[in-house]
Amino acid sequence: MGYKLPMISAIDESISMMNGERIISYGLVLGELNHLLTAYDLLRGAYIRYYKKTFGIEYPYQELKFSNLVRDSIKNGLDINYVINVFVIPSLRKLRELCICRSIVIKKYLEEKIIEIADLFNFKRFHKRSIIIAGILKILLQDIYKCEVRYDRGLLIRPKDVQTILRRVFRFFKLVQGDSLNEHTIQIADFIAGSSKYLKMRNAYFDKNIYFVYLVETT
């Protein structure tokens, strides 16, 4: 009989060109499963209302993708400040009542510094991409010692490498591959990852109950 994990989390990433630089952000959502499912319902409702009110149409996608919302808004003459004020901030406020939202935003060319920041030099023999993702998780889950992490297969990691590294850090850690199309928790993580870099660029929204780790200015 397996050990039942009390906390569920999901991670996703978002990459964009911003101000002439390639920026990558990782978003993580954490909470009890029933709270996460409720959070997904609230977030989906926010997407539906935004499209209905802003564009006068039903939400046209099966999956919640923040990049689609930004693209459709800009295509219709709206700027990112409108998206942040009308959609992002209200949605984050609702999510924080049910779960923990965390992110790391960093310039792409500095991504390998995560290995240094997370103190994972002893794992250099592992797949580099997997060490970076393990470092991201170590930072974002630093105060959580029991956790199941769901990730989208698009992260292109070697799961055994990530599990080997993190099981030396956490008391109990389980890594589960999912498909963002069907895994609702990953869709919440997509929203956190996608929106956090815009919040950082605008320095718009800071709240002690929403934990953002910003590494964009790391030199």
Per residue in 78-87, pLDDT (tens digit) is: 999 999 999 9
Residue type at 4 in one-letter notation: K
Query: What's the pLDDT score for residue 216?
Result: 41
* SS3 state of residue 25: strand
Phi/psi of residue 175, nearest 5 degrees = -110, 130
Residue type at 101 in one-letter notation: C
> What pTM does this model have?
0.89
Domains of the chain: 8-214 (3.30.420.10)
Residue type at 115 in one-letter notation: I
Cβ contacts of residue 142 below 8 Å, gap of 6+?
none
| pLDDT < 50: residue spans in the chain | 1-5, 204-206, 208-209, 211, 215-219
